[in-house]
Structure formats: C-alpha cells, structure tokens
Structure 1
C-alpha cells in the first residue's frame, strides 16, 4: 500500500497539487517522474492490474486539474464546497490513505489518524430528546456530533430564537444558551448540508435522534410549566418552633415543580410577620435574599423568628411568591392573590 501511495504521489505534478503553505511531498530527491512508457502494477487482492504512465496521467492528473466526467475523476460540482474530495486512494479495507481536495491540497491519512477514513458527519445525540416534554428551562438544547464541527447561527438554531450556538465540553458538542419560557414547544434545527467538514468528507446525516427534513435535522421539545411543589413551614402550619429574636430554626422556603430562575434581592419571594410586643402590633417585612443550590428549592437567609405573645396574640407570617416569574397556577396549599401565590403560618407560644 505504501508503495502504491508513493507511486501515485510521484505522478502528481507540483503545479496541479500545490496549495499555499502545504508540504511538497512529491519534491524529494529520491523521486522520479513516471515516463509515458512506464507502467504501474497494482494488486487489488484478486487480480494484478497494469496501468501505463500515459493512461494514468490522463485519467488522474487531468481529472484533478479540472472538473471531469471521467470515472476515475468523479467529483461534485464546483459549488459543493472547498473540502470535496477530487481524488482518493483507499486500501483493500476501504480506508482512505490519501485524498486531494478541490483546492488541490494533498492530505495523507497519517496526518489525521493513521489508517483512518474520514467519517460522514452524523448527529449522535440531541438533548432534550426529540419529542420530549416537561423539560427544564435551564437545560440548554445540545446537539452532539460524531466528530468536531464548527457551527454558527445559520447552521444550528432554535426556530424563532436569535441565540447563537456555542461549543460545549468537546468540539463535537454544541449548545444554545437561550433563555427559554415555561410551557412552550421549541424546534431545534441543524442545517447539516451546510456544515463544512474539514477532514474531506462530504456526506452527512441526522442519525436516529433527529428528523431529516430536506437536509435540515429537526427535533422538538416542550418545557415544563412552573408550579409549587411544597412550602416550608407548611401552609397553615401552627406552633412553628424557634427562638424569639433569633434566626429561624427551619428557614422559610419554597420548592418548585421545575427549575425556577429567581434573582436574589429581586422580591420574587418575600415573607413578612405581624407580631404583638406586649403593647402594640408590629409589622415586620423582611424580604431577605433567597438562596438556592439547585434552582428548585429557595430559602430566605435573613428571617428573624418572632414567637407568639399568647393565645390571643399569635404571630403570623405571610409569604408570597410573585406569579410573574412564570407561575401559571398556585398549588400545594398556597392561595392565589392574583399577583402572588401566598401562604401563612403561626409561631409557637
């Protein structure tokens, strides 16, 4: 095979193969030009074939110089892309050992992965999965290919969204860091036929994870609606224990049904108290800053516990979650005020 490669390279004149900055593999002291009367014998595993120098040059060299209808010079139309292979040499197992692209650059397989064949582009996986429902709004849509690619907003996008894709953990994984809405169906598109493959391959597919629609890989997913799974202390709870004037033993919190995006200090989650100090009622509004480690459960980190004065003067806490964060309904014991989901609890004597 190595001998065949060397012979082929000897036949390719510099003016036909030269590309800016490329190594002149054929310009070595040990090489000679194959004369027209010379012959090349190739054993393809089943028969010995002999090709004369003149025929080889006519069938190969001329085919490389310009688009040709010759069988040995099959190539795509000039507009098909800069990385279309115009000529290639394969071994008996079908692995490409050398190819020449449309610009005339010689690429040796060993310069990529020794003995490898440039693989057709394919989508390996997509997340969320095609047809998935109840998806988190913070799970960025991601497409993983079977090899590294270079994408842009024109080749990978969410329909109706202008967020450009960015490379993920590897050059083969790309995600779209878009701000998504609750309860919405999105269509993710990958224009596979417009993705340049720098390893010389020209074909592509959507694999089995996306649907091919006229050369565009498509998948859809629907985000979850936002609800409240639970609140703590529970709505309507009484005799909630704690130390008067100190931080809450169990800090008031709310857990959502899916990822919620609350900004600290923005007032999306507040609690206030009304307590009796022995002479008058005091209204203490303590919005606090809420924290979360998973975007599901949010806690207030600056709440002060006020115990109930007596059975006739119970300290009541009122907590509100603003519906404008995307809540479509109130649940888990909370009441709908129109603008918030609200619940109350009282502290122990």
Structure 2
C-alpha cells in the first residue's frame, strides 16, 4: 500500500518506521527542508529521534502535492492547532487530483475555540468526495519506544468498519498491535483529555509529592475524563481501555511525555510561555485544558482537577491554593463517576 505520512515529528517518524517494516511504500511530508534532506540522505531524524536509523526505503518530500498524490492513505501526524489548515489545503489538492483517500489522524487534543474533536475538524474541511473514511490511531505509545520496536498496543476507530480495518491491517505487526474500536468519540476524547492529567502529575512530581498523591489524581482524573467524554457521546467503557486508562498511565508517569515534562518545568518555576517556546514539540495538554474547562462550564460537569489546572495555568492560582481547593472539596462518593457511568451503560444493555 502507498502511504503518505503528513508530518516529520517524533510520532510520525516512528509510525513511518512501523509502516515501512510492514512493507508499505512510505513517503513522509515535512515543511523543514533540512529535516527532509536528513531523512533522504542521512536516513535519520535526530531532532526528534536522536539515535534512530531509518531504512533507506523511507523517503521524504517538502512538496505536499507530491505527498498527497503518492498516498492511498494519508496519516496526519500534525498538531491539533495545525490540523484545520492542513486539512483545508489537502482538500484542495485532492479535488485538483480528482482523488479519494483514507484519512487517519494521530493527533491528541481538542481544537481551541470550537472544542471540536480532530475528526470533526477533518469532516468540516474535507469534501465527502475526497475521502473514503476518517480514522484515528491512538493509545499508549511513546514515539521513542515505538521507534525501538518495543511492544506497543493501540486502538483505531472510525465511523466505517472498513476504514478502521484497513488502518489495523496497515499498522499491525509483531511489536505494534492494533485493536479496532467502534467508539470514535471515546478514543479521541480519551487521547485528548489524558494530557491534562499528565500536566497535573508532572507538577506534583516536580513539587515532590509522592506516589499516593499521583495515584489519586490519576484515578480521579479518569473519572473526569469519563464524565466529559460520556456527555460528548462516548461509551464510558472505552475509558477503561487502551485510549483511556492505558494512555493516561503512560502519559502521566513517564519522562517521555512532553505534557508530564511541562508540568515538572512549571513546578520548577519556569513560565508557561518559556516552556512552550523551548520544548521543541507541541504540548497539546495546555490548549486542551482550556477547551475542557470551557466544556465543563458549558455542560455543567464537575471536573475539579481540570478546573484547578486551568486556574493554575491561566489565572495564576498558587500551588498551595490549588492543593487546598482539591483536598477540601465537599464530601462525595467515589462511585459518583466512572463506576456509575459504567454501571448505567451495562444496565442499559
């Protein structure tokens, strides 16, 4: 299969390696001429995957028209904030080329302002005549480990069964296992909202809090993800899977996670603007925190961790005030969250 990887960041590069290993004809697209040259001539991408050697069969181009013309499937590995513009441009090219492709995105976030999931953004910008399906590939998958071919398991979801089966078949191999999932909303929401909790855990780690505290925030954070996700139309059971608790654990507990690292840097006294400027990669959890906070207000959903993090990031709430507001909330029941949502889901069947 001819597949174009739109984006030359760490995750896009690691996924290109998976696809190449599976025998697909992979062409990467990137805007940076130096990165494209490095991939083609040196067979590396050291800005993102320092010590990884790429197969010579992986090629790159800085011409988006060439990349779109090449691919039967386009894998969009660009940040959420760039997704709408990229989709709009690709749509024009597909129309000019009179071409229909399968679209798969790997972004994890909500669009700022509209609060839309990435597949919704793509549906708005792509003409129905230009794509067969829009899928997402998501789950606990650090690019660094994928590139080292360490065992990784993810999920793919789409509206149409045929689309997600093609994505599953394209990516699955002995070290990269792909499950299919019917719940497109849940898979996208879980992948987006876990970044919020990862920033919070990074802050706690940087401030010296222990495993007890971090475990509590991860667990209660999962409840918040499920509350909002279910309100948005997701199946609550999805959040007990790879794109829920699985992705939450890997993102909130690893130095590989840029969201976790962002939290640690904040705890050390660095400003959010400086962190974003110096990170070198997009910290999706920052914008997603704002979007989720606004959605919690819109839907009148109790999301205390998200709300406190929003105030900490954007309203200068102190660490002491944030900790006090979480620990001294009104008494409630543990089952007023994910467990209750799951029970209601099971009872309704």
TM-score bracket, shorter-length normalisation: under 0.3
Higher strand share: 1
Scaled by the length of structure 2, the TM-score of the pair is: 0.25
Higher relative contact order (Cα pairs below 8 Å, separated by 6+ residues)? 2
Scaled by the length of structure 1, the TM-score of the pair is: 0.25
- Of structures 1 and 2, the larger Rg is shown by 1
Higher helix share: 2
